[in-house]
Amino acid sequence: MNLISMEGITKTFGSVVANKNINFQVKYGEIHALLGENGAGKSTLVNMLSGIYTPDSGSIFVRGNEVRLTSPRASIDAGIGMIHQHFKLVDVMSAKENINLGQKNGFFIRDDILTKKILEFSNRYKLDIIPDKKVYEMSVGEKQTLEISKVLYRGANILILDEPTAVLTPQETKKLFSIMNKMKEEGCAVIFITHKMNEVMAVSDRITVLRKGETVKTVKTIDTNTKELAELMVGHPVDLAIRRDKVSKGKVLLEVKNLLAENEEKVEVLKNVNFTVEAGEILGVAGVAGSGQKELCETITGLYPVKQGDIFFKGEKLVGMSPRQIITRGISMSFIPEDRLGMGLVASMDMVDNLILKDYQNQKGFLINRKPAVKKAKNIIKELDISTPGVNNPIRELSGGNIQKVLLGRELGSNPELLITAYPVRGLDINVSYKIYDLINEEKKKGVAILFIGEDLDVLLELCDRIMVLCDGEITGILDAKKATKAKLGLLMAGEKNGKLGDAELD
Amino acid sequence: MSKRKSVVIRLLAVIFALVIFAILIRVMDLNPLDVYVALVKGAFGSAYRIREVIIKSTALVITSLGIAIAFKMQFWNIGGEGQIFMGAFAASYIALNYPELPKPLLLTLMIIAGMIGGGLWALIPAFFKAQWKTNETIMTLMMNYIALKWVMYLQYGPWKDPMALGFPKIANFSANAILPKVFGIHIGWIFALLLVVLVSVFFNHSKKGYEITVLGESENTALYAGIDIKKTILVAMFISGALCGLTGMIQASALNNTLSIDVSGGLGFTAIITTWLAFLKPFFILIVSILFAALLQGGSFIQTAFGIPQAAAELLQGMILFFVLASEFFIRYKLVMNRHQVANEKKGDN
């Protein structure tokens, strides 16, 4: 018996077909993973279940009845709850107040009864909610649990999780998976969107793979493996191993000493950070989102004020230099934020104008010669397989992945001596991701020092020489990537200091 | 949204404005068609009228170009009016104190003084913005009144012409301080055409123009690219104010032949409208300014020809503006009619 059945769903945005004749069934008591590259149409599909979009054609059945989910309200009434990537919680309210928000249960609220009800509910699903804890005191994992509770408390028995693990440590991910399994036992259905195949293999019962807006196949997890899934996602066989080239280490290029930085609220965002990067080395940086990665990148490149400490590049002091001076020293920084655009690119400008952003100042005279940049743009389009109508279209018209390729193409092509790159493959499809890893490896071979800030621990472990773990602005450990494991990294990401690790190999 | 489509929408907006105004003309017991024909005749019907349109558009073009430079940086320079006054003031200072200098030298000095006067006046809000992130809209707006009252003070006080029999008026410039005419129109129109080309090159091919655009799009990106943000704000605003100041010099020298509180006549504000309607593009500024000047000129003609009150003629300008600005909505958003969906949503509510 299907709890949800989507039949022949098509959704277009202008001339873009996001979903094309998609069939998707979810059964009672299963965890169903929705797998696909960015732009494959996963989010569009579930947004139609959560009432944010309505399909152009096709039908949606819930418990055998056809429904029209024309608003989020209608979707909630149908028992469908969605957990978005960005939490929708009120920071200054407690857990129970957040759960109770928007509930239609009379004008007055009996506080003790509410607490009791929420505790009962929490025990049933093993959610470990502390009813009176304020949201701002919660860790990311706790907030996510609260989001899930909110939806379950409203009576949802179909839960949609949109890339829920992106912000979690491995330990928190494990906890999330146990909650998902508990829900499954209760007969609920869980739809789990991700592009991390290891997680899919670990937790799901069935997997539906989408590619370019169409359903490729629905498979049982026990009948498949990551290699087959990758092939289904991409459409042809792929090699999943990341090369780690052996490069003889050079001299120390970047040295960060006792670095301390504060944000505008005078909260320390980098606490006494010490590390070095050598020529021909990739130093990975692991950590849950918002652990100080952005601030670290920006302090090195002169964009973020340094409170105390020093940064040396080839023995030269960088602190106090202008961003321009740091760029001319051969330091490149590309930070891919969630919206892909961030500070590296100008959305309304075309590719050519974006490519000259950092080197137009090297040209002599009052005017800018754009001809070399046009040539470079065409090369990058070919090399990184960017789909764009032309080099003169505003990059705002490109998709997120293509925008990102423009940025990476520019930064990798700038012949840096120190390459700082944060989340370079965020949301890129597998092929391009591997192309990027190759390009990074090539830079490494040239003797470039690389600071690689990543989110996928598997990639960090395979690509990097050493991995530095940040937690709450502090370095909790620097490990040799060959000897590190995900478990060790996870503990460090959660803030366990070196001492408690016991057998971990420290650098 | 294609470019052609947005142009069509804007043109439609103008047509709608004309239609609505036609109804109004009907109410006044006049034939709308006659009035519109007269409007065009009033603007282009004789050599004199065409000259008047060109003179009006010259000032609008130069001021609009100046404002466009600031707007490109998303620096909302509402202070064109004040910068015109200060440019006119600085040029007049030269004209009144060195009336006997040879004409080319005197005029060159006046132009330089006018541009520096307007530029420095614009530099004040720019400095505060760069240094302390003050709100430039409020500041430039308020500085307009300071500039106006300063000129008024000069006119009624220290610079009052003792020969004017007590009439509050500043002495006329010497003949050497008055811009020469080319084809019967003061030489300012050549400046305007040259500046259209120059500003266009500045925007599209110069480093500073590029920096201004990047800074306008995102301050963070500008910082990341190593652009000196403070310097860029100051330079751009100086140029912006300098162009407005040049307008002031031209108005004082060629039209008023002296400094007076009528030297601007709201140009600084009208230019904001033309700049915006021209999407900050120099060649569009030229076209929009000419059309706008024609509307002003034709508007004053129909007042006298049909006995329409001035307020009614101004209504037409207001209406065109209103419709064009409102049409932005249709340029940015697509209107979708979906009765089916609405009906369903209602069902969902029950």
Question: What is the CB-side half-sphere exposure of residue A153 using CA atoms within 13 A?
Answer: 28
Residues of B in contact with A356 (CB under 8 A): 210
In the block, tokens 């008591």 appear at A29
C-alpha distance from B223 to closest chain A C-alpha (Å): 7
Greatest CA separation for chain A:
75
Confidence of residue A500 (pLDDT cuts 50, 70, 90): very low
pLDDT at B121 (0 to 100): 97
Token output for B57:
């558009």
Residues of A in contact with B224 (CB under 8 A): 301, 303, 323, 333, 343-344
- Residue A309's nearest CA partner among A271, A265, A260 is A260
Q: Which residue has the higher pLDDT, B317 or A326?
A: A326
| Residues pairing with A12 in the sheet | A17
For testing contact with chain A, the best of B200, B204, B221 (most A CBs within 10 A) = B221
Cβ separation of A346 and B205 shorter than 8 Å?
A: no
Angle at A48 between CA A42 and CA A53, to 5 degrees: 110
Cβ separation of B217 and A349 shorter than 8 Å?
A: yes
| Residues pairing with B219 in the sheet | none
B340 touches chain A (CB under 8 A): no
Cβ neighbours of B93 (radius 10 Å): 17
Give the closest of B207, B214, B228 to A346, CB-based: B214
Cβ separation of A346 and B207 shorter than 8 Å?
A: no
Cβ separation of A54 and B341 shorter than 8 Å?
A: yes
- Above 60 in pLDDT, residue B23? yes
Contacts of A121 (CB under 8 A, 6+ apart): A127, A149, A152, A153
The residue type found at A463 is L
Distance CA(A306)–CA(A304), nearest Å, equals 6
Cβ separation of B217 and A368 shorter than 8 Å?
A: no
In the block, tokens 């051969």 appear at A330
Distance CA(A478)–CA(A501), nearest Å, equals 12
Residues of B in contact with A394 (CB under 8 A): none
Which pTM was predicted? 0.76
> What distances in angstroms separate CA A322 from CA A318, A327, B230, one per listed residue?
9, 9, 13
How many percent of chain A have pLDDT more than 90? Answer: 18
Average pLDDT rounded to a whole number, residues A450-474: 90
Cβ separation of A343 and B221 shorter than 8 Å?
A: yes
Numbered residues of chain A with Cβ closer than 8 Å to any chain B Cβ: 54, 68, 70-71, 73-74, 301, 303, 322-327, 333, 342-349, 353, 356-358, 360-361, 363, 366-368
| Residue A279 · residue A314 · CB < 8 Å | no
pLDDT at A339 (0 to 100): 64
pLDDT at A282 (0 to 100): 93
How many percent of chain B have pLDDT more than 70? Answer: 94
**CA closest to A74 among chain B residues:** B348
Question: What is the CB-side half-sphere exposure of residue A255 using CA atoms within 13 A?
Answer: 10
In the block, tokens 């960090």 appear at A460
Residues of B in contact with A324 (CB under 8 A): 226-228
For testing contact with chain B, the best of A366, A392, A396 (most B CBs within 10 A) = A366
- Residue B195's nearest CA partner among B247, B238, B118, B234 is B247
Rg (CA), chain B: 23
Could you please report the per-residue DSSP string of A217-264?
EEEEGGG--HHHHHHHHHSS----PPP--------EEEEEEEEEEE-T
- Residue B204's nearest CA partner among A346, A354, A353, A344 is A353
Distance CA(A49)–CA(A42), nearest Å, equals 11
pLDDT at B348 (0 to 100): 38
Residue B272 burial (C-beta neighbours within 10 Å; 0-12, 13-18, 19+): buried
C-alpha distance from A407 to closest chain B C-alpha (Å): 12
| Residue A92 · residue A168 · CB < 8 Å | no
- Residue A188's nearest CA partner among A218, A154, A214 is A154
> What distances in angstroms separate CA B145 from CA B40, B91, B139, B152, B242, one per listed residue?
35, 19, 10, 10, 18
DSSP A109: -
pLDDT at B345 (0 to 100): 42
- Rounded to the nearest 10°, the torsion over CA A481, A486, A487, A488 is 20
C-alpha distance from A107 to closest chain B C-alpha (Å): 21
| Residues pairing with A67 in the sheet | A60
Confidence of residue B319 (pLDDT cuts 50, 70, 90): confident
Contacts of B68 (CB under 8 A, 6+ apart): B199, B275, B278, B280, B281, B282, B285
Confidence of residue A287 (pLDDT cuts 50, 70, 90): confident
Strand A206-211, strand A31-35: pairing = parallel
Distance CA(B187)–CA(B194), nearest Å, equals 11
Average pLDDT rounded to a whole number, residues B276-281: 87
In the block, tokens 């979903």 appear at A19
The ipTM assigned to this model is 0.80
Average pLDDT rounded to a whole number, residues B83-94: 96
| Residue A335 · residue A304 · CB < 8 Å | no
pLDDT in tens, A185-201: 888 899 988 877 788 88
Distance CA(A36)–CA(A32), nearest Å, equals 13
pLDDT in tens, B131-151: 999 999 999 999 999 999 999
Give the closest of A347, A348, A368 to B206, CB-based: A368
Cβ separation of B207 and A368 shorter than 8 Å?
A: yes
- Above 90 in pLDDT, residue A283? yes
- Above 50 in pLDDT, residue B237? yes
Cβ separation of A358 and B226 shorter than 8 Å?
A: yes
**CA closest to B225 among chain A residues:** A358
C-alpha distance from B134 to closest chain A C-alpha (Å): 18
C-alpha distance from A501 to closest chain B C-alpha (Å): 38
| Residue B207 · residue A358 · CB < 8 Å | no
Cβ separation of B224 and A71 shorter than 8 Å?
A: no
Q: Helices B47-72 and B267-277 sit at what angle, rounded to 10 degrees?
A: 70
Residues of A in contact with B347 (CB under 8 A): 68
Cβ separation of A346 and B201 shorter than 8 Å?
A: no
- Above 50 in pLDDT, residue A502? no
pLDDT at B337 (0 to 100): 57
pLDDT at B63 (0 to 100): 97
C-alpha distance from A358 to closest chain B C-alpha (Å): 5
Token output for A63:
């418990």
Instruction: Mean pLDDT check: name the lowest of A69-73, A109-113, A317-321, B221-225.
Output: A109-113
Q: How many residues does chain B have?
A: 350
Average pLDDT rounded to a whole number, residues A293-298: 90
For testing contact with chain B, the best of A335, A368, A369 (most B CBs within 10 A) = A368
B46 touches chain A (CB under 8 A): no
Cβ separation of A70 and B220 shorter than 8 Å?
A: no
Helical segments of A384-429, H only: 400-412
Cβ separation of A361 and B207 shorter than 8 Å?
A: yes
Q: Which residue has the higher pLDDT, A503 or A413?
A: A413
Give the closest of A54, A357, A367 to B225, CB-based: A357
**CA closest to A301 among chain B residues:** B224
B213 touches chain A (CB under 8 A): yes
Distance CA(A226)–CA(A458), nearest Å, equals 13
Cβ neighbours of A246 (radius 10 Å): 8
Rg (CA), chain A: 24
For testing contact with chain A, the best of B224, B279, B281, B346 (most A CBs within 10 A) = B224
Token output for A51:
């009432």
Distance CA(A49)–CA(A19), nearest Å, equals 13
- Above 80 in pLDDT, residue A404? yes
Cβ separation of A68 and B348 shorter than 8 Å?
A: yes
Distance CA(A205)–CA(A220), nearest Å, equals 6
Cβ separation of A323 and B223 shorter than 8 Å?
A: yes
- Above 50 in pLDDT, residue A466? yes
